[in-house]
Amino acid sequence: MSPPSKAIVYENHGSPDSVTRVVMLPPVEVRENDVCVKMIAAPINPSDINQIEGVYPVRPPVPAVGGIEGVGQVYTVGSMVKSLSLGDFVIPSPLSSGTWQTYVVKDESMWHKIDKRCPIEYAATITVNPLSALRMLEDFVSLKSGDSVVQNGATSMVGQCIIQLARLCGIRTINIIRDRVGTDVTKEKLKALGADIVVSESQLNEKNFKSHLGNLPEPVMGFNCIGGNVASLVVKTLREGGTMVTYGAMSKKPITVSTTSFIFKDLSLRGFWLHRWMHLEKVKECRKMIDYLIGLARDGKLKYETELVPFEDFATALDKAMGKRGNHPKQVLKF
Ligand SMILES: NC(=O)c1ccc[n+]([C@@H]2O[C@H](COP(=O)([O-])OP(=O)(O)OC[C@H]3O[C@@H](n4cnc5c(N)ncnc54)[C@H](OP(=O)(O)O)[C@@H]3O)[C@@H](O)[C@H]2O)c1
């Protein structure tokens, strides 16, 4: 049997700050092919919030434990388990629900052993955002060294990964951030990650917006995780025949694209969803990519901001993740 597990559970869909609560779940049986993992850390991603709200296409039956990614250490193994041993560091792969708890029991095949030298805040967050960034850079347009891409929401974790993964292939990035106090500091932070150009939304709304884009070639591809008018800022910088991939909707507004962009630039609008991609029986392929990303994070070649928060402070971390307390790095629960 597993030890009892302290978990963040929701019994109904709704605003996560009102429907989640901490409960002790009773021990569960560790069957012959099962592995019981003591969780070390797990992030609060926007999709976790949407899942609890009940507005995400994937809805685990309630009552459910929150979270879909994280890292833990093997605590006990069933009698038939061959590939994992006590103390191994593992992540759920493919992603699976219920990581916001102290002990998780799943079939051996659901766990992927990772390099222990990767810092836990990266190991806990390596799938949802970095893997999405990698896939989007590779799956839609055949990008070459010297090409440029444009993205909004550049401060997001996906955005930070796009900057660095693009840079590793010689691809230049134009990065749109929202206007806020401390814009200059944010610009410098993104440039330190390798961003070529960082512009605010208001700068791109100016008539002479091109003056802010330096000498980079017009972007062949764009990434949109905000929607609304901020999507149109990506579109207006794309070159003729360019493609914009939408993967998020942080503003909760529909995408606005001018008719003229379609007619005169012949643009393509595409969509990306990691969940759909992972379900194409790509577990093996996916684990190879995760190992690549884990290696980059271990070697300090992939960086992004996180804040490790004790599990007991879940309510505060949730408020921060929901944007109720201003701007904060990705909240990662530490169990
Ligand atoms: N389709 C997929 O498979 C997939 C995979 C991964 C992520 N996603 C989506 O990608 C998006 C980013 O995820 P993440 O975890 O990387 O985000 P994150 O690190 O939590 O950051 C959130 C980002 O959204 C920006 N933002 C929030 N509200 C905004 C608004 N009203 N207007 C403009 N910007 C706003 C924030 O800007 P500030 O820094 O200025 O606050 C920040 O850049 C989310 O929508 C997530 O669901 C989708």
Domains of the chain and CATH, by start:
5-127+276-334 (3.90.180.10), 141-271 (3.40.50.720)
**Scanning the structure block, which residue is given the tokens 């990614």?**
69
The Cβ-side half-sphere exposure at 85, using a 13 Å CA radius, reads 0
Phi, psi angle pair for 310, to nearest 5°:
-60, 140
Is the CB–ligand 1 distance for residue 128 below 6 Å? yes
**Scanning the structure block, which residue is given the tokens 């992927």?**
112
- Ligand 1 centroid to Cα of residue 55, in Å, is 16
Q: What is the DSSP string of 152-180?
A: S-TTSHHHHHHHHHHHHTT-EEEEEE---
**Scanning the structure block, which residue is given the tokens 């410098």?**
188
Atom of ligand 1 nearest to the CA of 327: 41
Q: What is the pLDDT of residues 24-49, one digit of tens each?
A: 999 999 999 999 999 999 999 999 99
Atom of ligand 1 nearest to the CA of 251: 31
SS3 content of the chain, % helix, strand, coil (to 5): 35, 25, 40
**How many degrees, rounded to 5, is the angle at CA 264 between CA 259 and CA 267?**
75
What's the rounded Cα separation, in Å, for the pair 39 and 71?
6
Tell me the best of 158, 160, 282, 330 to mutate to test the pocket of ligand 1, counting ligand atoms within 8 Å of each CB and taking the most: 158
Which residue has its alpha carbon closest to ligand 1 atom 12?
156
What local confidence, expressed as pLDDT, does residue 327 receive?
Answer: 83
Regions in the chain scoring below 70 on pLDDT: 280
Is the CB–ligand 1 distance for residue 157 below 6 Å? yes
Known catalytic residue: 247? no
Provide the greatest CA pair distance for the chain: 68
What local confidence, expressed as pLDDT, does residue 280 receive?
Answer: 60
- Ligand 1 centroid to Cα of residue 157, in Å, is 7
- Ligand 1 centroid to Cα of residue 326, in Å, is 14
What local confidence, expressed as pLDDT, does residue 129 receive?
Answer: 98
Is the CB–ligand 1 distance for residue 231 below 6 Å? no
What DSSP state is assigned to residue 86? T
Is the CB–ligand 1 distance for residue 225 below 6 Å? yes
- The total of other beta-carbon atoms located within 10 Å of residue 221's CB is 26
Is the CB–ligand 1 distance for residue 178 below 6 Å? yes
Q: Under a CB-based contact definition with an 8 Å cutoff, are residues 56 and 50 in contact?
A: yes
Is the CB–ligand 1 distance for residue 248 below 6 Å? yes
What torsion, rounded to 10 degrees, do the Cα atoms 204, 208, 213, 215 define? 170
Residue 284, both tokens: 């093996």
